[in-house]
């Protein structure tokens, strides 16, 4: 049977009448329900769509209302277009999303277009989607300052914006029978030939850290497909313990996660991926099995699985600094005061310190493997045990009247990125990574692209993790200068993860809300990136999205993660 999208393409290209295509009209999203109107035999040809249908009346009234609305649309839209001069100046209408020159993956679900129009005379907005390859435009009439295309139309827009951009023009007009155009905004969007091709696993968590730490049962772990229009699948929730950083092997067959299992903050589950992951003692290791001389317990920070799934690197012998702040934007200042890197071998079921990244007097943390495994990158800074003694050992505390910038100046430190050979666990000489070290900034979270071509890391004035001024930088893995990515937003850019094909980079930001949201940018062969794409379907009201990781698997590969007896 011919698909709906194929029918739309044929109708669009062959200029058939679309009035009979009623099935397209039933599934529009919240702000804009759609009606396709027949094409007119005059210069104002195109596909006409109506947004913001009321669904409050009964079925009979709705049918009558739809006919009346279609008649009004057929007369109103041509009048707007007749009174519109593309070369004239109009009042400001700012399209706030998508960003101008955005590049979308071909496998992404439809975004919500949003604009701000403060002109009091404007009651309706006409969205005009035009293409450079001769296809007729789309006209969308909205009564709200947003529009979410339904799937078939969005697929059509993507299909026709691969070779050249589509232009999105939003006109603000009054509601009279001879409407005047009062405002205008214009952007262009394009579609990449590169798919994302993999789901993202991330955590949704209440934004105030102190509350979230006391209520781990409210955390949700999600495995989400960017192509889906459905609610993302929650694969783990209502657990009595906190889970944090997680990673996968390069082939997606092995998974690990820091999890406070049975009261052990050094616990880490490290196991094969399966649909129903009912975790037992056999799925866990503990970094506390590695003896330490100070009698303290290890947390096991920023653990990461090797590409081949045979080893795990983590931070051990750590002492944490954690200031809890009652601020939804930045509710914690966190970094280890000391730490060493350790390696766990699944073949030998043993863990050892990594020579060269276990030096006394330093914080050595946040390891990241090169794609084929011979090297690791990590973040290093001088030990801050002076704070441990100054605070009398009470390095985890709450602060009522403070903000992140002040605490950073009082307690913060600066990290550099180092590279060290793995050497089958024997380590070697750790050397600073040029471009990501000795630059007067704090450099951390280095991540190789899976093809080994690029390294993206986070940089801020001070600190480690969720810094207000954090920005993403990219550099060739073979060496060279680092530069800021263009996709950086105004507040927080971090927790980045590469798609398996090395073409897309996901990261979190607090650009729009106090809660971190997930964004996506395209990285081309030259390391150039595109404006950020908001993955808004992954967010949930009242929750922050963090610790995202792409997984080289189907979005259905994991259906549930539970703890034994829970």
The DSSP string of 217-284 is GG-EEEEE-TT--SPPEEEEES-SS-EEEEEE-TTS-EEEEEE-BTTBTTEEEEEE--SEEEE-GGGE
Does residue 204 or residue 244 have the better pLDDT?
A: 204
Please determine, for residue 70, whether its predicted confidence score (pLDDT) is greater than 90.
Answer: no
Q: What is the Cα–Cα distance from 302 to 448, expressed in whole angstroms?
A: 15
Q: What is the Cα–Cα distance from 104 to 226, expressed in whole angstroms?
A: 11
Burial (CB count <10 Å: 0-12, 13-18, 19+), residue 511: middle
Report DSSP letters for 358-380, one per residue: --TTEEEEEEEE-TTSSEEEEEE
Per residue in 260-314, pLDDT tens? 999 999 999 999 999 999 999 999 999 999 998 888 899 999 999 999 999 999 9
* Cα-Cα-Cα-Cα dihedral sign, residues 469, 470, 472, 473: positive
Per-domain boundaries in the chain: 4-191, 200-563
Cβ–Cβ under 8 Å, residues 346 and 421: no
pTM metric for this prediction: 0.89
Please determine, for residue 35, whether its predicted confidence score (pLDDT) is greater than 60.
Answer: no
Q: Which residue has the tokens 């999203």?
A: 29
Domain 200-563 belongs to what topology?
A: Neuraminidase (2.120.10)
What pLDDT shows up at residue 565? Answer: 58
What pLDDT shows up at residue 374? Answer: 95
Closest by CA to 266, choosing from 286, 281, 252, 285, is 286
Residue 560 tokens read as: 């549930």
What pLDDT shows up at residue 151? Answer: 92
What pLDDT shows up at residue 408? Answer: 81
What pLDDT shows up at residue 49? Answer: 66
Mean pLDDT confidence for 523-552? 96
Domain 4-191 belongs to what topology?
A: Immunoglobulin-like (2.60.40)
327 three-class SS? coil
> Which parts of 45-90 are beta strand (E)?
47-50
Instruction: Determine which of 57-71, 383-397, 458-472 has the lowest per-residue pLDDT on average.
Output: 57-71
9 three-class SS? helix
Residues of the chain by 3-state class (helix, strand, coil), percent to 5: 15, 40, 50
């Amino acid at each position: 049977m011919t698909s709906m999208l194929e029918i739309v393409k044929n109708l669009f290209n062959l200029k058939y009448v679309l009035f009979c295509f009623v099935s397209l009209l039933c599934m529009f999203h919240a702000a804009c329900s759609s009606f396709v109107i027949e094409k007119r035999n005059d210069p104002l040809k195109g596909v006409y769509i109506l947004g913001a249908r009321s669904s409050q009346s009964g079925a009979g009234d709705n049918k009558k209302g739809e006919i009346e609305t279609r008649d009004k649309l057929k007369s109103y839209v041509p009048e707007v277009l007749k009174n519109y001069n593309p070369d004239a100046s109009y009042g400001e209408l700012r399209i706030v999303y998508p960003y101008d020159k955005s590049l979308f993956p071909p496998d992404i679900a439809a975004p919500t277009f949003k604009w701000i129009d403060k002109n009091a005379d404007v009651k309706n907005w006409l969205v005009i989607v035009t293409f450079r390859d001769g296809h007729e435009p789309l006209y969308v009439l909205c009564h709200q300052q947003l529009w979410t295309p339904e799937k078939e139309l969005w697929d059509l827009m993507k299909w026709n914006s691969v070779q050249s951009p589509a232009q999105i023009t939003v006109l603000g007009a009054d509601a009279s029978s001879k409407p005047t155009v009062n405002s205008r905004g214009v952007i262009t969007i394009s579609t990449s030939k590169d798919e994302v091709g993999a789901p993202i696993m991330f955590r949704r968590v209440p934004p105030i850290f102190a509350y979230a730490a006391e209520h781990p049962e409210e955390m949700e772990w999600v495995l989400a497909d960017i192509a889906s229009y459905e609610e993302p699948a929650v694969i783990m929730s209502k657990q009595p313990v906190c889970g944090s950083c997680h990673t996968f092997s390069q082939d997606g067959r092995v998974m690990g996660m820091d999890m406070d299992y049975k009261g052990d903050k050094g616990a880490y589950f490290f196991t094969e991926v399966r649909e129903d992951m009912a975790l037992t003692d056999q799925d866990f290791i503990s970094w506390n099995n590695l003896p330490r001389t100070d009698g303290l317990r290890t947390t096991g920070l920023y653990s990461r699985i090797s590409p081949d799934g045979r080893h795990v690197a983590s931070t051990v012998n750590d002492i944490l600094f954690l200031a809890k702040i009652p601020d939804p934007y930045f509710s914690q200042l966190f970094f280890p005061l000391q730490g060493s890197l350790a390696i766990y071998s699944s073949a030998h079921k043993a863990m050892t310190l990594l020579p060269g990244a276990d030096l006394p007097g330093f914080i050595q943390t946040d390891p990241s493997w090169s794609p084929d495994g011979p090297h690791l990158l990590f973040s290093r800074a001088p030990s801050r045990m002076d704070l441990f003694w100054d605070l009398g050992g009470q390095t985890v505390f709450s602060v009522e009247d403070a903000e992140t910038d002040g605490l950073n100046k009082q307690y913060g430190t600066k990290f550099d990125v180092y590279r060290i050979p793995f050497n089958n666990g024997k380590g070697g000489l750790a050397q600073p990574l040029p471009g990501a070290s000795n630059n007067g900034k704090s450099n951390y979270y280095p991540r190789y692209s899976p093809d080994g071509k690029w390294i993206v890391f986070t940089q801020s004035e001070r600190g480690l993790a969720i810094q207000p001024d954090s920005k993403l930088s990219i550099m060739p893995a073979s060496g060279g200068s680092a530069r800021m990515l263009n996709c950086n937003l105004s507040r927080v850019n971090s927790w980045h993860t590469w798609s398996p094909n090395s073409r897309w980079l996901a990261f979190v930001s607090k650009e729009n809300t106090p809660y971190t949201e997930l964004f996506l940018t395209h990285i081309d062969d030259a390391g150039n990136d595109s404006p950020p794409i908001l993955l808004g379907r992954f967010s949930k009201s009242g929750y922050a999205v963090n610790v995202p990781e792409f997984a080289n698997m189907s979005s259905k590969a994991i259906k549930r993660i539970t703890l034994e007896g829970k």
